[in-house]
Structure 1
Amino acid sequence: LMISLSLLEPNKTPFTPLVVMELAEDTNEEAVTWLTSRIKDTQQSGGAELMIDRLTLDDNQDPKKENQNIFIVGASRERLLVGAEDVGLVKEFNDGSMRGFTYANRENFKGFQGDGDNFLSMAECQFIVKHELDTLRARGETHVPGYPKIRLYPGKSVVRRIQSKGILVQIFPLHDKEELKRLSSMWYQNVQLSFQPLDDIRHYFGESLALYFGFLEYFTLAMVPMALIGMPYYLFDWEDYDKYVLFAVFNLVWSTVFLETWKRFSASLAYSWGTLSRKKAFEEPRPGFHGVLGINPVTGRQEPVYSSTKRQLRIYLVSVPFVLLCLYLSLCVMMVYFSAEGLVLGLHDEEPTFWTSLLLYVPSIIYAVVIEIMNRIYRYAAEFLTDWENHRLESSYQNHLTLKVLVFNFLNCFASLFYIAFMMQDMQLLRQSLATLLITSQILNQFVEAFLPFWLQKRRNKRVHRRSGKVSPDQELPFDQQVMLEADMSTYLGTFDDYLELFLLFGYVSLFSCVYPLAALLAVLNNVTEVYSDALKMCRVFKRPFSEPGADIGVWQLAFESMSVIAVVTNCALIGMSPQMKSYFPDSETQLILVVATVEHVFLAFKFILAFVIPDVPRHIQIKLARVEFESMEALKKKAVGNRPAPVPDLTKEKA
């Protein structure tokens, strides 16, 4: 998509628009001039060697109402190919293997024809531009021009610095309307029983997002056997709790096999996408990281440093007590729920009518709504605390945030179920509570995550179309209006909330589905709607996120595996509580506990043996990776031999 010259400043060369940078409206013009010149400077001069132009609004726009500091960034074809080598892009070689792309060897890669116009996808080009902007480093500047109080550190990222100080409001990649329309038509617009187009999703949104949708699909398909087995149990053996022992055993095996086979499937996907063997880049500090000026011991560059002792004090003296306080409040809310449950049950026992029977579900519904509200409030608090802890790296920040959120969500969502199951030992109430939590949380999530954002975005679209004089939403907007529309869209904050929802769903199914066999069926229905609602959000509601390379689902794999271990303990305990098991040990409860503990250890041993026996990466992929590594080592050896100095002649032997 070539930008029309009328939308850019005069006498500018048109280029393919890739990324939008929006600066604050009151940004000093001196800073704007300095930043744009640094972006356009050659790499030899320390610049990014990219193309950038200010977006010029059409005559219908009021300059006083619109931000004039919006810039379009792109790059030449050669610059993108060189950048592909810099970011470590892995592509398919002519011999079928996956190798790191090199500009010098570009013609030996599959799909490279002519000048390589279509060799890189738009998402890859946008990722390269974002990488080059992030690695644009300060040189001799001591501060941002026009802002003497905003210091610059030599060798540190300029873009990250101005982003943390509010000069850079946002940076996002542009949608490709034609490609997006094609992806939408085969992804979510037509309801059909088929697999998702994961390769097309990866091509447009990147590997990390494609892996999420791949996991969502794999998880849904894996639950189909559980749902098919659970329906007969629910329909014919609802009151016969003894029969659920077999279902619990199947549940234990299922959770282990599902996670192990997923790792193999994700490795196959990552290899075909070139991320399994991709080298991780050196991680730069987060934009929000701050500290006193010091020296990085690894790079030797000046950058802000922050004492790890202070960070640990903040974590253990503030964050941990706060999390414990939130857990305590969650338990207090749970006890209020049980009090309300007992009150309603008493009313029903006194006067059993149709209305009092309906009233039995009210406390569970209210409690489910309260759980969702508490989870969302706590999420904001956890983000604030993790920001305050001042983690240097994004990976460390995400790990600490994930741990805080998972601990609270686990207790908040499952504490009442554990209490009912093992303290009250009321299986009827456990079934009712689990069903209510599942159904209510699914309805709320679909409303908050899909319907509400989509409704708000439709209102934005209508407003932009009216402003541009377009009556029908189907009419194509001018380029400048499309950019303004995308700039006003909600920002996609990543897959954290999506994985968290699947994690809780996996917990409901793996922990207690033996007493409520319809849990798997409800989860399957939820995931099917989740595929379409998430696809709709990504294509119509959110800004296009930058492509992020990913070889697996990261820390969430560990989270799901931890939940499966807890599921072993929970299901074994539920088996031990069944009347069928108690009938075998009528006189000795100690023997029953010992038998249940033994069975639990056997299942745990089976789980870990199965995880050890099933390799995470299929053998044929291991062979391909080993072959490429061997060839690389051989090439390095030949290069080293070729660079050796000529041997010194032995003059003694010549005289002899």
Structure 2
Amino acid sequence: MKRGLSVTDPPDLPFRPLVVIELAKDVKAETRDWLVKKIVDKKKDGGCQLLIKSFIISEEEEETIFLVGASPKRLLLGAESLGLVKECEDGYMRPFIYNNRREYTHFIEGDEDFLTMAECQCIIKQDLDNLRARDEKSVPGYPHSKLYPGKSIFRRLQTSGLVIQVFPLHDKEDLKRLTHRWYRQIRVAFQPIDQIRRYFGDTIGLYFGFLEYFTLALIPMALLGVPYYFFAWEDYDKYVVFATLNLVWSTVILEIWKRYCSSMTYRWGTLIMKKEFEEPRPGFHGVLGINPVTGREEPTYSSLRRTLRIYLVSVPFVCGCLYLSIYVMKIYFDLETMALDYDREQQSTFSSLLLYVPSIIYAIVIEIMNRIYKYAAEILTSWENHRLESSYQNHLVLKVLVFNIVNCFSSLFYIAFVMCDLKLLRQSLATLLITSQILNQFVESLLPYWMQKRSNRKIKSKVKTLKLDTEFALLEQIHLEKHMDAYPGTFDDYLELFLLFGYVSLFSCVYPLAAVFAVLNNLTELYSDALKMCRVFKRPFSAPAAGIGVWMLAFETMGIIAVITNCTLLGMSPQVNAMFPDSKMDLILTVAAIEEVFLSFLERQPKEQCLQHSRQNKFPTQL
């Protein structure tokens, strides 16, 4: 057993490990030396000018780990190049400029707290990603791993399998303080959103901010839904008041969130932050050509070929999956009919309970189909070979949302507007909502936490057998974190909230307890997601964000569907029909007018108005 420790920077420079780089087993020594030189070389020589320590653990496995840090000055210069926005002493938010650093609030020369650890790790990640090839034609020691002038070295090392993973380290003390405020104590209070954002970054902070806001927005509907549900249990047609409330609620909460989000991101400095030039995805491939914008030689891929893949393969695949979803829905209705016939014949307690079995089976099948489809959609979207990550995410979200809307809501629409069976609609909605919540909590929270606990015990016992005297705590931490699964992102979390918003806004007028179950789900989600972030997954790199991205458009689209659905339900209700006994055309025109009024409120608020509103409020930065 051997361990090597090398420090490539002068010993007088402070070293704070921020990022871990794990190389593949048996990587050649000349490759390691070349990579270290690239990381520590000065900017003018084509390097990153960072600090680095290397560990070689286990002679048999030749496992190499690099710890990367940076000097305080280097991090401040990186903050300027990244375009981070900070609060100035006059109270306004401005991009950070190193030469004007003393004009910024809370800046103290030599103080490491001016930049959060998440921002420091983001700066290092940007420097590593921007490490460009110059005269090298290939990775030293691996002639088959070609390098192209001006292209990212680290992306090539990752696609070649020479770099296994790059991830940011946790700060154990900060994490301990955060977990104590966040989920270790059960209390009726808001989440520490600013502290979450400082530790995990803007994207994660925005997700938990939206989760908290959505939960609070559901509470009025839940409080109104309980008495409405019990007082109108058998009167399925008396849903006019609650449908009207749904119309107002689903319209207003999205507009309030836009203002709240713009105020929050302005205070964080990301609303006015300039977008960074987007690099090609690591998985992007193509033939060698000339980029018409930069004039550099790099892999290119025909947009026509990508379009043909989308329309000749992806679109038929999605349509086929939608047909399968509708076919499964038909089987569900056949089972429902069989259960109803059996209950009419038997009229027993068992037959009454049997009425819920088709809905439960259908809910489980829906969850299984959603997960299988998402996996297939990811493979298909990767095969389309999108150059940018944003384009990849947009196509993936579109595929998944179309399928989930049809798979989760088509049966409810059919029951409501074709069968016109409000009793069955209430039963189906309740079963789908409760079953999906139970399955999601188990699959997304309990199962990963249990598996990670088992893995941690094995890793700790393995590390203790190494019998290393120095830096044992850091080594144990690195071993634990590098074996954790990578954080999968907020995609599934937003998708779950999107489906909950759909269940509540579309048909909760016939099942008012939908908002109650949504609140309960979100409360458990707050704690389970916090636990996953802190204990189950690797710490993700911070990413600047000015909003929830394409998901805002998805929620607005669902809001439009909710307005149309509730207006249609209003037009179908006996109470509203009784108001227009002589002319059905007047009824249709009145409902259409109401629909247009509410849809006009769902127009997207211009960013300039949000920015102006945020500046007028001038929220101070919370530390």
Fold equivalence (TM over 0.5):
yes
Structure 1 residue 128 and structure 2 residue 123: aligned? yes
CA distance in 1, matches of 2:285, 2:589: 54
> SS state of the match for residue 441, structure 2?
helix
* Deviation sequence 1:351-372 (CA, Å, 0-9, x none): 0111111111111111101101
Q: Give 2:391's aligned residue.
A: 396
Q: Give 1:629's aligned residue.
A: none
Q: Give 1:649's aligned residue.
A: none
> SS state of the match for residue 447, structure 2?
helix
Structure 1 residue 542 and structure 2 residue 537: aligned? yes
| Superposed displacement of residue 461, structure 1 | 1.5
CA distance in 1, matches of 2:203, 2:515: 26
- Of 162, 166, 172 in structure 2, the residue corresponding to residue 167 of structure 1 is 162
CA distance in 1, matches of 2:8, 2:267: 43
Q: Which moved more, 1:498-507 or 1:118-127?
A: 118-127
Structure 1 residue 276 and structure 2 residue 271: aligned? yes
Cα 1:256–1:15 shift into 2, 3 Å: same
Q: Give 1:9's aligned residue.
A: 6
Aligned 8 A contact 1:268 1:618 in 2: no
> SS state of the match for residue 63, structure 2?
coil
Aligned 8 A contact 1:230 1:517 in 2: yes
CA distance in 1, matches of 2:398, 2:172: 38
> SS state of the match for residue 545, structure 1?
coil
CA distance in 2, matches of 1:380, 1:496: 13
Q: How many residue pairs are counted as aligned between the two chains? A: 609
Structure 1 residue 216 and structure 2 residue 215: aligned? no
TM-score (norm 2): 0.94
Q: Give 1:334's aligned residue.
A: 329
| Superposed displacement of residue 67, structure 1 | 5.4
| Superposed displacement of residue 274, structure 1 | 0.8
Q: Give 1:34's aligned residue.
A: 34
CA distance in 2, matches of 1:181, 1:273: 23
* Deviation sequence 1:33-61 (CA, Å, 0-9, x none): 2111111111010111112222244xxxx
| Superposed displacement of residue 460, structure 1 | 1.3
* Deviation sequence 1:14-41 (CA, Å, 0-9, x none): 6110001111113233222211111111
Q: Which moved more, 1:577-586 or 1:524-533?
A: 577-586
* Deviation sequence 1:238-297 (CA, Å, 0-9, x none): 222343111111111111110111111111111111111111111111111111122222
* Deviation sequence 1:529-571 (CA, Å, 0-9, x none): 1000000000000000001111111111111001000001100
Q: Which moved more, 1:19-28 or 1:329-338?
A: 19-28
- Of 337, 341, 361 in structure 2, the residue corresponding to residue 366 of structure 1 is 361
* Deviation sequence 1:83-141 (CA, Å, 0-9, x none): 11110111111212111111111122111113233221111110000000000000011
> SS state of the match for residue 540, structure 1?
helix
CA distance in 2, matches of 1:613, 1:298: 28
Q: Give 2:528's aligned residue.
A: 533
Q: Which moved more, 1:7-16 or 1:107-116?
A: 7-16
- Of 606, 613, 618 in structure 2, the residue corresponding to residue 619 of structure 1 is 613
> SS state of the match for residue 239, structure 1?
coil
| Superposed displacement of residue 613, structure 1 | 13
Map 1:584-603 onto structure 2 (within 5 A): 584-585=579-580, 589-603=584-598
Aligned partner letter, 2:87 = E
TM-score (norm 1): 0.90
* Deviation sequence 1:64-90 (CA, Å, 0-9, x none): 3x5512211111111111111110111
Aligned 8 A contact 2:266 2:614 in 1: no
Aligned partner letter, 1:378 = Y
Aligned partner letter, 1:416 = S
Aligned 8 A contact 1:28 1:146 in 2: yes
CA distance in 1, matches of 2:600, 2:548: 25
| Superposed displacement of residue 144, structure 1 | 1.2
Aligned 8 A contact 1:421 1:427 in 2: yes
Structure 1 residue 102 and structure 2 residue 104: aligned? no
| Superposed displacement of residue 482, structure 1 | 1.2
Q: Give 1:300's aligned residue.
A: 295
Aligned partner letter, 1:114 = E
Cα 1:114–1:597 shift into 2, 3 Å: closer
Aligned 8 A contact 1:264 1:618 in 2: no
> SS state of the match for residue 380, structure 2?
helix
> SS state of the match for residue 203, structure 2?
helix
Structure 1 residue 25 and structure 2 residue 25: aligned? yes
CA distance in 1, matches of 2:558, 2:8: 60
Q: Give 1:633's aligned residue.
A: none
Q: Give 2:140's aligned residue.
A: 145
CA distance in 2, matches of 1:490, 1:135: 25
Gaps spanning 5+ residues in structure 2: where?
Answer: 466-470
Aligned partner letter, 2:6 = E
Aligned 8 A contact 1:260 1:614 in 2: no
| Superposed displacement of residue 588, structure 1 | 5.5
RMSD: 2.1
Structure 1 residue 353 and structure 2 residue 355: aligned? no
CA distance in 1, matches of 2:207, 2:429: 26
> SS state of the match for residue 392, structure 1?
coil
CA distance in 2, matches of 1:477, 1:429: 61
Cα 1:254–1:364 shift into 2, 3 Å: same
| Superposed displacement of residue 591, structure 1 | 4.8
Structure 1 residue 156 and structure 2 residue 147: aligned? no
Map 1:515-594 onto structure 2 (within 5 A): 515-585=510-580, 589-594=584-589
* Deviation sequence 1:495-533 (CA, Å, 0-9, x none): 111101000000000101111101111101110110000
* Deviation sequence 1:346-395 (CA, Å, 0-9, x none): 10010011111111111111110110110000001100111011111111
Aligned 8 A contact 1:311 1:389 in 2: yes
Q: Which moved more, 1:436-445 or 1:143-152?
A: 143-152
Cα 1:149–1:328 shift into 2, 3 Å: same
Aligned partner letter, 2:25 = E
Structure 1 residue 428 and structure 2 residue 428: aligned? no
Q: Give 1:112's aligned residue.
A: 107
Give percent identity, aligned residues only: 63
Aligned partner letter, 1:51 = L
Cα 1:127–1:587 shift into 2, 3 Å: same
Map 1:453-468 onto structure 2 (within 5 A): 453-468=448-463
> SS state of the match for residue 478, structure 1?
helix
Aligned 8 A contact 2:290 2:297 in 1: yes
Cα 1:618–1:447 shift into 2, 3 Å: farther
| Superposed displacement of residue 234, structure 1 | 0.1
Aligned partner letter, 2:246 = N
Aligned 8 A contact 1:24 1:166 in 2: yes
Q: Give 1:481's aligned residue.
A: 476
Aligned 8 A contact 1:227 1:518 in 2: yes
Structure 1 residue 55 and structure 2 residue 49: aligned? no
